[in-house]
């Protein structure tokens, strides 16, 4: 590799060592330095850099034009929204991403939500503090016993909306609980479903037969607002809804109404249409809703997963192979580590400059 590797993503020592096996590495984790690079600040950091491994920094057309040494960008995201892929393609820069990097983390939180809702742990963990009294007061204990009677996960029916990396990880975890798992995913074929031990069904059937509905779909024009008032009305009475995917999948007001009416018995939400939500949000502060501030993928282990995926992709690129995490394979036709990169035409530049730029979060993309 003719230049350095700059890694501002949060990577563990194993991931950094894997990158060091490929070239000179400068590690400057955004978590440790508490900074987001963009514009001229990013251009200054990219001098002499061939590969940029980032998680939140913004790579747009202006940065690319002023960073002629750059040949590849690795966005440590499932969806590389912080990088203008079209601009990189126009400039001959390969873009890689790290799909599935936080799937295990999100699946863990999803299962925690299932158990917390079923066992009423949101209220249960607060009961003694919210109901102070004398030690040994059996009446106080009895009131808690009556109020906090829960349900077991074993024997329940779980419906997964979406069966990508997270959905598959949730299904694996459910095998030990003796649950029946139904899946709605238009891309899921019967053979894959059979191997995973799940039953593919249409969405309305899933809603009507599931004790717990858990969302794991990507946001597309087809899935936006998928769980609206009409679909919530078709849910099994007393069901639970868990959303660790994206807020755009659910009509938040309709969800609150379904809880108010008793159509749903509870919900758990890790993502909101505006983050963080204000105190007047209809789902915040309710006893029947668990809310967390978008922490599904926030574990220290993710730094290990994304480092391994990033290094594997860069190694493939160095060997002249097509990485399986490459977002713009069309650049490989003229990709070269040392020759000058292609220069976009004025017409292409104008189009790129007028297009929406990169964003820190996909929520900023609508």
Span 289-302, pLDDT tens digits: 999 999 999 999 99
Helix/strand/coil (H, E, C) string of 91-134?
A: CCCEEEECCCCCHHHHHHHHHHHHHHHHCCHHHHCCHHHHCCCC
For residue 343, name the pLDDT band (cuts at 50, 70, 90).
Answer: very high
363 has a pLDDT exceeding 80: no
- C-alpha span between 303 and 31 (Å, rounded): 11
Nearest to 8 by CA among 295, 275, 306, 294: 306
* Domain residue spans of the chain: 4-101+300-365, 103-291
Respond yes or no: is residue 275 known to be catalytic: yes
Superfamily per CATH, domain 103-291: NAD(P)-binding Rossmann-like Domain (3.40.50.720)
Considering the candidates 119, 140, 209, 294, report the single residue annotated as catalytic.
294
| Two domains, one topology: 4-101+300-365 and 103-291 | yes
Letter string b/e over residues 291-313, b meaning 16 or more CB atoms within 10 A of that residue's CB: beebebbebeebbbbbbbbbbbb
DSSP 170-203: HHHHHGGGT-EEEEE-TT--HHHHHHHT-EE--H
Give the tens place of pLDDT for each residue, 111-137: 999 999 999 999 999 999 999 999 999
Mean pLDDT, range 77-102, rounded to an integer: 96
| Edge-first strand listing for the sheet containing 49-54 | 25-27, 4-7, 49-54, 72-75, 94-97
> Are 97 and 327 in contact, with CB atoms under 8 Å apart?
yes
> Are 159 and 180 in contact, with CB atoms under 8 Å apart?
no
Considering the candidates 202, 275, 334, 338, report the single residue annotated as catalytic.
275
98 token code pair: 């790290």
- C-alpha span between 230 and 250 (Å, rounded): 11
Respond yes or no: is residue 246 known to be catalytic: yes
1 has a pLDDT exceeding 90: no
Nearest to 6 by CA among 66, 76, 62: 76
- C-alpha span between 104 and 100 (Å, rounded): 8
Give the tens place of pLDDT for each residue, 230-283: 999 999 999 999 999 999 999 999 999 999 999 999 999 999 999 999 999 999
Residue 361, classed as helix, strand or coil, is: coil
Cα 12 off chain centre by? 19
- C-alpha span between 322 and 87 (Å, rounded): 20
- C-alpha span between 240 and 211 (Å, rounded): 6
The answer to whether the pTM exceeds 0.85 is yes
Superfamily per CATH, domain 4-101+300-365: NAD(P)-binding Rossmann-like Domain (3.40.50.720)
For residue 2, name the pLDDT band (cuts at 50, 70, 90).
Answer: confident
Considering the candidates 77, 246, 281, 341, report the single residue annotated as catalytic.
246
Distances, alpha carbon 341 to alpha carbons 5, 58, 330, 335, 346, in Å: 18, 20, 14, 8, 16
């Amino acid at each position: 590799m003719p230049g350095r590797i700059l890694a501002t993503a949060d990577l563990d020592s194993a991931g950094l060592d894997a990158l060091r096996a490929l070239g000179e590495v400068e590690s400057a984790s955004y978590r440790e330095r508490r900074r987001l690079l963009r514009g001229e600040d990013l251009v200054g950091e990219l001098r002499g850099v061939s590969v940029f491994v980032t998680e939140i920094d913004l790579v747009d057309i202006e940065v690319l034009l002023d960073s002629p040494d750059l040949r590849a960008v690795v966005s440590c995201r499932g969806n590389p929204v912080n990088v203008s892929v079209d601009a990189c393609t126009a400039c001959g820069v390969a873009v890689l991403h790290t799909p599935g990097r936080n799937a295990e983390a999100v699946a863990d939180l999803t299962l925690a939500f299932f158990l917390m809702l079923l066992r009423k742990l949101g209220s249960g963990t607060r009961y003694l503090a919210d109901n102070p009294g004398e030690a040994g007061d059996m009446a106080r204990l009895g009131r808690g016993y009556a109020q906090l009677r829960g349900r077991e996960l074993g024997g329940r029916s779980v419906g997964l909306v979406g069966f990508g990396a997270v959905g598959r990880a949730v299904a694996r975890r459910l095998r030990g609980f003796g649950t029946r798992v139904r899946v709605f995913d238009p891309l899921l074929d019967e053979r894959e479903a059979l191997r995973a031990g799940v039953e593919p069904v249409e969405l309305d059937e899933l809603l009507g037969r599931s004790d717990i509905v858990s969302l794991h779909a990507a946001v597309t024009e087809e899935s936006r607002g998928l769980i609206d008032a009409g679909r919530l009305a078709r849910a099994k009475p007393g069901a639970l809804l868990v959303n660790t995917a994206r807020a755009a999948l659910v009509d938040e007001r309709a969800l609150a109404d379904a809880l108010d009416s008793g159509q749903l018995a509870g919900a758990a939400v890790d993502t909101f249409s505006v983050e963080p939500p204000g105190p007047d949000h209809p789902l915040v502060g309710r006893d029947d809703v668990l809310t967390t501030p978008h922490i599904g993928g926030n574990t220290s282990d993710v730094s290990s997963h994304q480092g391994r995926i990033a290094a594997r992709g860069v190694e493939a690129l160095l060997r002249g192979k097509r990485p399986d995490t490459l977002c713009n394979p069309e650049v490989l036709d003229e990709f070269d580590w040392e020759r000058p990169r292609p220069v976009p035409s004025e017409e292409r530049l104008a189009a790129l400059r007028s297009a929406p730029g990169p964003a820190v979060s996909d929520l900023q993309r609508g």
